[in-house]
Structure 1
């Protein structure tokens, strides 16, 4: 197993390439709709698009896992410092939805970049 330690530029480059390689619809507009639907479904309502909710959950979880991977294996500083033990998925969804609604001028950006920005603002590292 090869280590990513000592290669922070490669890791950061790979992360941004991953973020930018997603399809044209992989932006904040789609993520906002899907995560709002997920919050509704997780709060006792009915989801209109379970595949979309799965996409929201997947993007949030994959982004958080990637941030952890870059810190642990890549030796990069933490960008997001969630409380010990993590946070529930619905809380992540609410944070992202709130951020996307507060910044509609950014909805055209890549969804993973928007998730990192939302979580970084909610849980800054000291």
Structure 2
């Protein structure tokens, strides 16, 4: 199976149950609150900062689960969607990558959170051409 087809499958699996209200503009606002805290400031909306981190963690976990489950079902290894660097990516780095992506792609802010997080991480940590 081509990696592009796999990516489409994983994105659908990852984003299937996403709330209609969970859009990129809201994610951007929430993750900006997170960066404010990471940078030593005080957030007026700490629950938003927590939502940003929870959404990122849930999306990454969902991608890992979808890829693992699909690989197990077809009994072969599939190429990963995201090629993480050898050193662990910190929460701070992840949030900064996602905020940067959202700011650079305002035309996509109508899309769902999990899709946008996935697109940002794939853009930051590509696996090559497929």
TM-score of the alignment, normalized to the shorter chain, above 0.5: yes
Residues in 2 aligned to 1:72 and 1:21: alpha-carbon distance in whole angstroms: 19
Residues in 2 aligned to 1:25 and 1:17: alpha-carbon distance in whole angstroms: 18
Structure 1 residues 100 and 87: CA distance shift in structure 2, 3 A: same
RMSD (Å) for aligned C-alpha atoms: 2.1
Match of 2:65 in 1: 69
Task: Return 5+ residue gaps in structure 2 as ranges.
Answer: 1-5, 72-77
Q: Number of residues paired by the alignment? A: 116
**Aligned counterpart in structure 1 of residue 27 of structure 2, from 27, 31, 39:** 31
Match of 2:41 in 1: 45
Q: Which runs of 4+ in 1 moved over 3 A?
A: none
TM-score by length of 2: 0.79
Equivalent pair of 1:95/1:122 in contact (CA under 8 Å):
yes
Report deviation, 1:105: 0.5
Q: Indicate the SS of the match to 2:70.
A: coil
TM-score by length of 1: 0.82
For each residue in 1:23-48, what CA deviation from the matched residue of structure 2 results, as whole angstroms up to 9, or x when unmatched? 22201000000001101101100112
